[in-house]
Amino acid sequence: MNFKKYMKSEDKGYIIDMTALVDIAFIIILFLGIVSTLAPISSINVELPTATSEKTTVEPTKIFVDKDGNYYFQGKKVSDEEILKFLKENKIKSLSVVADRRVIYEKVVHLMDLAKKAGVEQINIATRRGE
């Protein structure tokens, strides 16, 4: 059969299949919808106030423990009682323990226990950045 005689002169008979385009558009919309719900809030817009002092954070108090288990504070060897007294009197809230890697673990735990008795809220153990 000859169908060309029934076609209009400007119509050449080309048909564009839109099925694949609609499928791809649907998949892209679906993907963007799922990803947008999983995206965490990356920032919160906050305008910070100004401060007159340079440093607004408090440095933690550092107590050193050598390999023999001796405690040092401000370059002097101190006893358990002196540590406890200092931490209580000055109401220290943040303590950093700088212990030798060869120290007996019990000495570090004892120092942490003293700090908790004195009311220290935050205890950090200093480490060196590894490779």
Per-residue pLDDT band for 101 (boundaries 50, 70, 90) equals confident
**Are the beta carbons of 92 and 85 closer than 8 angstroms?**
no
Please write the tens of the pLDDT for every residue from 74-93. 889 999 999 999 999 988 88
**Are the beta carbons of 97 and 60 closer than 8 angstroms?**
no
Angle in degrees, 0-180, between the axes of helices 80-89 and 105-117, rounded to the nearest 10: 30
pLDDT at 127 over 80: yes
Please write the tens of the pLDDT for every residue from 28-81. 999 988 887 776 665 556 666 776 766 656 678 899 999 888 999 888 999 999
> In the prediction, which pLDDT does 85 show?
92
> In the prediction, which pLDDT does 1 show?
58
Considering only CA atoms, give the Rg of the chain.
Answer: 35
> In the prediction, which pLDDT does 82 show?
93
> In the prediction, which pLDDT does 113 show?
94
The CATH number of 61-125 is 3.30.420.270
- pTM, to two decimals: 0.56
